[in-house]
Structure 1
């Protein structure tokens, strides 16, 4: 499960913040009509037909300090009554505590993630949420895995629940992060304890510490998302009995279930039960609308199962189905080369 976190998250319905190494942007509106503003001062309007790939982008402000006719002409367009209106996010009141105002400024009003370590150190009340966003917005993007691991481990071990944090509930009620938890499975997670645990487990796994990753996931509330992560971790340690038990009674109801069925098939094959393995792969392939990566993985694994039974023609058929869709699938050329030997 390769690690990456998209540094883009919702801060309120219709409003999304994006953080890059060079700037911070915020956008508001609905599908097909959005206004975006960047910390550089650039403001754009995007109008389009959702799902069509057709859109038009107009620059309303370039962020230049130059006062010219073009800038003056652009200003009225930004306040036209037909522009989408997004709900105004909450802001700290006049008598809000200093830590709340500073944290709000660093995360939302004037985003500056570099301020989070100072705020977390100076204000105890701000420490948990400052630590969470320091891990996701600065430590991980910069490749500082040890710092991210320290922060997330502390949050997880102390039992911190972002969903119960008053700051999150007030200012970031719609905040979400995109996290890939397994091959072909990306999930959009809210700011809650599961997100912290899954992210922490990802880092442990990336560093080769599989037992610690399993320990974290097993301490989360059971869910489809945690089951996907746990199945991958069990498989990486050849704990096939646990994989079979975890995936008992599954139907192909969604992409996560497809992934789990593939792991179930692999587990049965490794245990020496090819018939049971092929049944699991058959169910995984039953729904053709599943992500391409998952369908190709299921075909490859079923092909390997056929090979284990000596059914070379059936194996080659599955491999060539993948070849027709993705000739660069990892390991596919090696599998096909074996038929020439």
Structure 2
């Protein structure tokens, strides 16, 4: 059995110096509730006096969350294009530093009632520290990020983009924000700039398969089909089975005028297994119809276009395609 050591020394009313084998800490409070900081970080301690029962909660300690699989993220186009509203890790405050600031403020308040001059000095120093933090590059970057986040929530894409670009002006090392900027440029119909920022982001986060998918789709919008295919073919195996990736690959092969390869990809899709006609399924049938049309298989092409028309009469140019391929079509 290993020996343990713990001793608590009262240094003022409500303030204790805690000594243990792990190191030195300090805590403030009274019976039932205390706030402190020790070798393991800042914490709160709640107890039921006279029972010996207590609980300790450390700041910044969270249960591990199981990350969703990449294929689940990419299974729906709108989800794969989603913005991240969490503050970039490069701007996230150190939890211990923040907890120390809160603890220092509490100690200052306590000392204000014990010996008010020392309490006043503590509170003033806390205000000065907070002001300096707000005016630091990190503080300014956080403020710009919050402005961008609010604009995103309102759907104000240009304002959000401007705010995020200001973040990079004051904190160029916030690499994780490149992804949001790329997505915003794409929303603003500027795929060339979107591609630049996707590439900057992927240079730092090369394993982000969902962003690679968005990057490849954007490459396809500017006619860089071969590069898009290379990116899509490099995605994880399980992700390449998803309809959004199948559609992107088939579209790129059609862009290169290779309908045989497009058909080989599309034949892996859920022709019979999926009954619901969502946006990705409409796109799948549309691409399949175009592929059959280019291969001269008119009846098969008509079958796909009719399925789409039955669900959405205004989808793309399906109406015109049906008139072209079927003279008897009266839509």
Task: Note closer, same or farther for the CA distance 1:134–1:335 as it changes in structure 2 (3 Å cut).
Answer: same
Is 1:334 aligned to residue 320 of structure 2?
A: yes
Kept in 2: contact 1:149–1:200 (CA 8 A): yes
TM-score (structure 1 length as normaliser) = 0.51
1:153 maps to 165
1:279 maps to 264
Is 1:264 aligned to residue 249 of structure 2?
A: yes
CA distance in 2, matches of 1:144, 1:325: 31
1:135 maps to 148
Mean alpha-carbon deviation: is it higher for 200-209 or for 92-101?
92-101
1:203 to 175, 184, 192: 184
Task: Note closer, same or farther for the CA distance 1:293–1:7 as it changes in structure 2 (3 Å cut).
Answer: closer
How far off is 1:333 after superposition? 2.3
CA distance in 1, matches of 2:297, 2:148: 49
How far off is 1:139 after superposition? 6.8
Kept in 2: contact 1:250–1:261 (CA 8 A): no
How far off is 1:257 after superposition? 3.9
Kept in 2: contact 1:319–1:336 (CA 8 A): yes
2:297 maps to 311
CA distance in 2, matches of 1:298, 1:100: 57
Alignment root-mean-square deviation, CA: 4.1
1:65 maps to none
Secondary structure in 2 matching 1:238: coil
Task: Note closer, same or farther for the CA distance 1:252–1:305 as it changes in structure 2 (3 Å cut).
Answer: farther
1:245 maps to 230
- Aligned pair count reads 214
How far off is 1:227 after superposition? 1.4
CA distance in 1, matches of 2:155, 2:282: 33
CA distance in 2, matches of 1:227, 1:133: 26
Task: Note closer, same or farther for the CA distance 1:6–1:99 as it changes in structure 2 (3 Å cut).
Answer: farther
CA distance in 2, matches of 1:214, 1:307: 31
Return 5+ residue gaps in structure 1 as ranges.
12-89, 103-118, 162-192
Task: Note closer, same or farther for the CA distance 1:294–1:100 as it changes in structure 2 (3 Å cut).
Answer: farther
Kept in 1: contact 2:239–2:245 (CA 8 A): no
Task: Note closer, same or farther for the CA distance 1:285–1:229 as it changes in structure 2 (3 Å cut).
Answer: same
2:104 maps to 95
TM-score (structure 2 length as normaliser) = 0.53
2:200 to 204, 219, 222: 219
How far off is 1:258 after superposition? 2.4
Which of the pair has the greater relative contact order for Cα pairs under 8 Å at 6+ separation? 1
CA distance in 2, matches of 1:91, 1:6: 35
Return 5+ residue gaps in structure 2 as ranges.
1-76, 88-98, 106-125
Secondary structure in 2 matching 1:329: coil
Greater C-alpha Rg = 2
Task: Note closer, same or farther for the CA distance 1:156–1:99 as it changes in structure 2 (3 Å cut).
Answer: farther
CA distance in 2, matches of 1:233, 1:264: 12
CA distance in 2, matches of 1:94, 1:136: 29
